[in-house]
């Protein structure tokens, strides 16, 4: 039997919630669960956005949410490009900004080398409940970090194409992310 980690279990729960709500087809649900459980392989896709002029400069990796490489995620990459960053980098990762994702397994925290900015939604209780333990683990291992819980918003508050979008908190989170990258990238 396959052993799934917290992250894989979280994604499967999210996919099931979308399927049950009618926002994800049975085919897509089955395909995504099969991929997570190792029942199939898939090719990787990426999107690269560069600042105007194409000059070499700092780069960031944009990790998509559980819905994959959507037009919104491509737009986020373009926003980073407008701010002067190349929006895809696989080597030399210096900083990360995780928007409302689950905490990693705590035993993996000592392996984190990048400065970690966590962006979380107050109403996303499945995620925020694990933050005290994550904060303690990051502090204990000396990882530079800032975990911010934005009040009054739910999961996906930064996604301006969804019904949970909150402009004020999304803007604050965006500005905090740019400031974080300005400091650590």
Q: In angstroms, what CA-CA distances link 70 with 53, 63, 139, 144?
A: 25, 11, 34, 30
Q: Three-state SS for 58? A: coil
Give the integer Cα–Cα distance in Å for 160 and 156: 9
Q: Mean pLDDT check: name the lowest of 20-34, 115-129, 167-181.
A: 20-34
Burial bucket for residue 155 (CB in 10 Å: 0-12, 13-18, 19+): buried
Cα–chain center distance at 18: 18
Distance CA 126, CA 143 (A): 23
Predicted confidence (pLDDT) at residue 104 exceeds the cutoff of 70:
yes
Q: To which residue do tokens 């979280």 refer?
A: 10
Mean pLDDT of the 77-97 span: 75
Q: Sign (positive/negative) of CA torsion 17, 131, 179, 176?
A: positive
Banded pLDDT at 9 (limits 50, 70, 90): confident
Q: What share of the chain in percent tops pLDDT 70?
A: 86
Closest CA to 137 of 117, 177, 109: 109
Least confidently predicted of 37-46, 120-129, 134-143, 156-165? 37-46
Question: In the chain, which residue ranges form alpha helices assigned H by DSSP?
Answer: 6-20, 26-36, 71-82, 125-128, 131-140, 167-184
Higher pLDDT, 120 or 20: 120
Tokens of 156: 């996906």
- Is pLDDT larger for residue 130 or for residue 4? 130
As a whole number of angstroms, the distance between CA 100 and CA 127 comes to 7
The model's pTM: 0.63
Region 2-15: mean pLDDT is: 77
Per the model's pLDDT, the better-predicted residue between 11 and 143 turns out to be: 143
Question: pLDDT per residue over 133-180, tens digit each?
Answer: 999 999 999 999 999 999 999 999 999 999 999 999 999 999 999 999
Rounded-to-integer distance, Cα 143 and Cα 28, Å: 37
pLDDT in tens, 48-68: 778 888 676 788 878 765 456
> Does residue 105 or residue 141 have the better pLDDT?
141
The β-bridge relationship of strands 145-150 and 115-121 is parallel
Residue predicted with more confidence, 78 or 122:
122
* Domains by residue range for the chain, with CATH: 1-43 (no CATH), 45-184 (3.40.50.1820)
């Amino acid at each position: 039997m396959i052993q799934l980690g917290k992250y894989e279990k979280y994604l499967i729960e999210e996919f099931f919630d979308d399927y049950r709500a009618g926002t994800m087809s049975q085919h897509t649900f089955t395909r995504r669960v099969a991929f997570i459980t190792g029942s199939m392989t898939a090719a990787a896709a990426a999107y690269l956005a560069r600042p105007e002029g194409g000059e070499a400069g700092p780069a960031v990796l944009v990790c998509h949410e559980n819905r994959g490489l959507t037009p919104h995620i491509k737009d986020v990459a373009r926003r980073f490009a407008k701010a002067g960053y190349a929006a895809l980098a696989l080597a030399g990762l210096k900083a990360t900004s995780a928007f409302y994702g689950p905490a990693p397994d705590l035993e993996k925290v000592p392996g984190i080398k990048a400065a970690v900015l966590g962006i979380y939604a107050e109403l996303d209780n499945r995620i925020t409940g694990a933050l005290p333990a994550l904060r303690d683990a990051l502090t204990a291992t000396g990882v530079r970090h800032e975990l911010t819980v934005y009040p009054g918003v739910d999961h996906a508050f930064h996604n301006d194409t969804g019904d949970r979008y909150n402009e004020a908190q999304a803007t604050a989170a965006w500005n905090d992310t740019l400031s974080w990258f300005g400091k650590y990238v």
